[in-house]
Structure 1
Amino acid sequence: MKVIICGAGQVGWQIARHLAGEKNDVTVVDTNAELVRRATETLDVQGVVGFASHPDVLASAGARDADMIIAATHSDEVNMVCCQIAQAAFNVTRKIARIRDQSYLETGYSDLYTLDRLAIDVIISPEREVAEAALQRLAAPATFDTEVFMGGRAQLLGIQLTEDCPVLNTPLRQLNDLFPTLRAIVVGLRRGDRLFAPDPDDQLLAEDQIYVFTHSEDVNRCLEVFGKKNQKQERIVIIGGGNVGLTVAQALEARSGRMRAKIIEKSRSIAERAADSLQRTIVLNGDGMDMDLLAEAAVDRADAVLAVTDDDKTNILVSVRAKQAGCPLAIALVNDPTLAPLMAPLDIDAYINPRATTVSSILRHIRHGRVRGVYSIGDAEAELIEAQVLSTSPISGKLIRDIDFPEGVLVGAVMRGDKVMKPTAEMRVEASDVIALFAMAKDVPEVERLLQVSIDFF
């Protein structure tokens, strides 16, 4: 597949890394020659320096025979024009644009994005993706990462193990004997800097980070098995009233129950906009770093603080101060992945990486075929892939034990009809089953071959 990626920033670079690693023909376009040079030197991609919205630049990038264009520059307008020119001048089949400004995304203007207007097939909104990730973290506060699969019937949970975990030093194969009715599988394990798919004989150690794929009905029990408790979040303090904070507050207001939120926003104009858009949420204008303001927001009695300003250091420091003030749960928005190792030492419970959420969203739309969902794990080290099994697939009709999966691949669950089942070696995979697979990045091409997934263009 021939793909043009407009924008060589963090998101563009990660998408290029994914696609180039899967032997696609990838060209990266950016006005910044240094970013293009970095991409071409570290990845198996071609590079073009120039404005991605200029027809001659797209032509130089190979738009005449490209299968897909992904517009992920920092400008919404440039991304829109890229897609429009890709359609009008080069008839590129599939066009994906990252759009950040919420005014472009209001439902009243959804008919703008049609073939005869703004020719964009898929719109990715980082703010909405991040807000959804924040809501998922709040729903599972004992986890550092979570994502929903199989139509909400299954979840991937990232769990940090501590000394009080009751199943430390227990081989994973014994968990099935200890908890035979628990529909959960440990599919990924991070020990130190290494992420891998564990063997049945691997034991769990304190400080390990594990990824568990579980039936949604078993989430609370699964957390208890690994020494965690899932408590209801009813009082939330949100630091930052921009697009992300506002979207989260609106979603919380829409939920029934006793959930109450407060927003602290430094900019007066943004605070006023948030106050006008919300009904029950209290909006305070001031610096989230101010301990007096945190006290006024009653952060010591809050169930969680969510720091989602546009500054990583502010989010981290506010989270630390909130924990010191007595808030039991702190979640921080962190753009810089090199800051992630600081989260545990600083006692920050979970963090959200906007780049990872955006990359996951784009991958979900790139791999159409029978792939229903893709979630990027860590620094694009692995993926959780949800796909429907085709009758022509090499795995259709086979027992799981007989399928020649690569070493870095584990089956998380199989859904047949509406029933989500815990996989066993004796389970037979049937056509039309939906299967969830944890795969290390290097094994993704082989997984797609086994699933016989082709790119479908709609």
Structure 2
Amino acid sequence: MHIIIVGCGKVGSTLAEQLQEEDTDLTLIDTDADVINNLTEDIDAMGIVGNGASINTLMEAGVKTADIMIAVTASDELNLLCCLIAQKTGHCQTIARVRNPLYSKEIGFIQERLGLSMIINPELATAREISRLLRFPAAIKIDPFSKGRVELLKFKVLPEFELDGMSVSQITDKYRCDVLFCAIESKTTLSIPGGDHLVHNGDFISIIATPKNTALFFKKIGLKTHQVKNTLIIGGGTISYYLAKALSDLKISVKIIDKNKERCEELSEMLPNATIICGDGTDRALLMEEGLSTVESFVTLTNMDEENIFLSLSAKNMTQAKLIAKVNRLPYKDVIDELDIGSVIYPKYITSDSILRYVRAMQNTIGSNVETLYHVLDNQAEALEFIIRDNSPVVGIPLSKLNLKNNLLVCCLTREGTVRIPRGQDSIQIGDNVIIVTTHKGLRDIRDILA
């Protein structure tokens, strides 16, 4: 499969790194020669210095025979123009990044009239992920499947849960909740656990279940499940706007602090239900004055990763609030995870997962489609949702009799709207949505789960 990426900034470079593992031929286009040279040193891809909206540049990149073109430059209008020219010149699928809130209500119209395969808004997707966490603050990460019917949630085992030293099967027997333990991360290991796997304080556990069953399980182990009543957001960028709008719809009280007076005035007009404060979000006295010690959630969304991390670290000692920090740069992810500052959101991963899902769906055989894809467990595993569209070697056979790959778990079956955590006697049927968690990368079809 030949894929062209126009724009090699943060999102474009992350995409290129992910897609090179997908058995694809990559061509990268950017106006900055240094960016292209640096990327092509590390990634097996052809680089072209030029304007992605130029027909000559796209022809040089091979747009006539390309399968997908992805435009992720800093300009929404340029991205749309690149896709339009690519469609007129070749026959490829087109994906555009469109970020401006002005276009958010017109996305469906734009996509249909321009014939785009997909429009991606990283800021809106990031805001939605944060709002999910504020609805269920006990979780560190939440990934939805089957249109929200099923969720993969990650949480930390604390001493007050009294789970230390218990096996997975003992926990599920004791609490009798229909949840599945799909992954356990300790300081030294990552496991897709069996029933005899022991849980310890400090472990990070990922479970999959319906939202109702997850809430019931958390309630039984003593973890609060109610949504937050209020939030304090530092930084007044596009993500903050989308987040405040979503939280206002949920009746969550929102305060935003930003030091740019002009931006504060804009936000005041666009967000009449939010409180906008012009000030320095790193000023401890201001934070305390605005209620940091009593607020239920604290979200840092400035343009500086260091500031977001520092603010979350400082807040740990001053508040019991749910902490969420946005981080753009990935090289220091391991160090950041060690800091234990609550939920850390990486917008680039959200974007790349959306596009990878689409690429996998195009590469699949006729038997099934990749409907949802998330990189989970610090990018060491994937959680995928397949729709079973046709007969295949996995259909109609009890799961206990399938020769499944190691480190792979069939987590959930959704059939005719009903969600089921499968047991050994259950089987996959045509029409099912099947959720898989595995450390094997690159599954494109449901038959790939077989050893």
TM-score in same-fold range (> 0.5): yes
Q: 1:246 aligns with which of 241, 250, 259?
A: 241
Residues 405 and 447 in structure 1, CA contact (< 8 A), matched pair in contact too: no
C-alpha distance after superposition, 1:221-242 (max 9, x if no partner): 3335666332431021111222
**Letter in structure 2 aligned against 1:170:** M
Aligned counterpart for 1:135 among listed residues 96, 117, 131: 131
Partner-residue secondary structure (3-state), 2:314: helix
SS in 2 for 1:207: coil
In structure 2, relative to structure 1, the CA distance for the partners of 1:296 and 1:2 (3 Å cut) is same
Could you say which residue in structure 2 is the equivalent of 1:455?
Answer: none
For residue 296 of structure 1, the aligned residue among 282, 289, 292 is: 289
Q: CA RMSD in A?
A: 2.6
2:349 to 356, 367, 390: 356
CA distance in 2 between counterparts of 1:152 and 1:47 reads 39
Q: Given that residues 337 and 379 in structure 1 are in contact (C-alpha distance below 8 angstroms), is that contact kept between their aligned partners in structure 2?
A: no
Can you list the C-alpha shifts for 1:227-281, whole angstroms capped at 9, x where unaligned? Answer: 633243102111122211121111122224xx31211111111111111122332
The residue that corresponds to 2:23 in the other structure is: 23
- Partner amino acid, structure 1, of 2:69: I
Gaps of 5+ in 2: 362-367
CA apart distance, 1:446: 6.4
The separation in 1 between residues aligned to 2:112 and 2:219, in whole angstroms, is 48
Deviation, structure 1 residue 164:
4.0
The verdict on how the C-alpha distance between 1:19 and 1:69 changes in structure 2, with shifts beyond 3 A counting, is: same
Shift of 1:130: 0.8
Please show how residues 344-383 of structure 1 align to structure 2 within 5 Å.
Answer: 346-368=339-361, 370-378=369-377, 380-383=379-382
Q: Give the corresponding residue for 1:454.
A: none
Q: Could you tell me how far apart the structure 1 residues matched to 2:36 and 2:308 are?
A: 30
**What amino acid sits opposite 1:222 in the alignment?**
F
Distance 1:371 1:273, change over 3 A: same
**Paired residues of 1:167 and 1:225 also in contact (CA < 8 A):** no
The answer to whether the Cα contact below 8 Å between 2:236 and 2:302 also exists between their aligned partners in 1 is yes
Give the Å deviation of 1:52.
Answer: 2.4
Sequence identity of aligned pairs in percent?
A: 28
Q: Note closer, same or farther for the CA distance 1:170–1:36 as it changes in structure 2 (3 Å cut).
A: farther
Residue 52 (str. 1) matches residue 47 (str. 2): no
Q: 1:138 to 1:340 in 2, by over 3 A?
A: farther
Aligned partner letter, 2:238? N
Cross-structure match for 1:237? 232
The question of whether the paired residues in 1 share the 8 Å contact of 2:408 and 2:440 is answered with no
Structure 1 residues 76 and 195, CA gap change in structure 2 (3 angstroms): farther
Q: In 1, distance between residues paired with 2:49 and 2:397?
A: 49
2:139 alignment partner AA: T
Once structures 1 and 2 are overlaid, which stretch shifts more, 193-202 or 284-293?
193-202
* Aligned partner of residue 337 in structure 1, secondary structure: coil
C-alpha displacement of 1:439? 2.5
Q: 1:162 to 1:41 in 2, by over 3 A?
A: farther
SS at match of 1:442: coil
CA distance in 2, matches of 1:33, 1:401: 54
Aligned to 2:153: 157
Kept after mapping to 2: 8 A contact 1:143/1:157: yes
Q: Distance in 2 between matches of 1:61 and 1:274?
A: 41
Task: Write the distance in 1 (CA, Å) between the matches of 2:331 and 2:191.
Answer: 20
2:261 is the counterpart of 1:263 = no
Q: Given the two structures, how large is their TM-score scaled by the length of structure 2?
A: 0.90
Q: CA deviation at 1:68?
A: 0.9
Q: Structure 2 CA distance, aligned partners of 1:401 and 1:42? A: 43
Residues 40-49 or 356-365, more deviating: 40-49
CA separation of 1:374 and 1:265: change in aligned 2, threshold 3 A: same
Alignment CA distance shift 1:65-1:414 (3 Å): same
2:164 to 152, 168, 181: 168
Aligned partner of 1:413 in structure 2 is: 412
The reply on whether 1:334 has 2:333 as its aligned counterpart is no
Aligned residue for 1:148?
144
Q: 1:372 to 1:275 in 2, by over 3 A?
A: same
TM-score if structure 1 supplies the norm length? 0.88
Q: Structure 1 pair 183/441, CA: closer, same or farther in 2 (3 Å)? A: same
1:279 match: 272
Distance of 2:407 and 2:44 partners within structure 1 = 23
What are structure 1's unaligned runs of at least 5 residues? 452-458
Asked if the contact 1:356–1:379 (Cα under 8 Å) also holds between the matched residues in 2, the reply is no
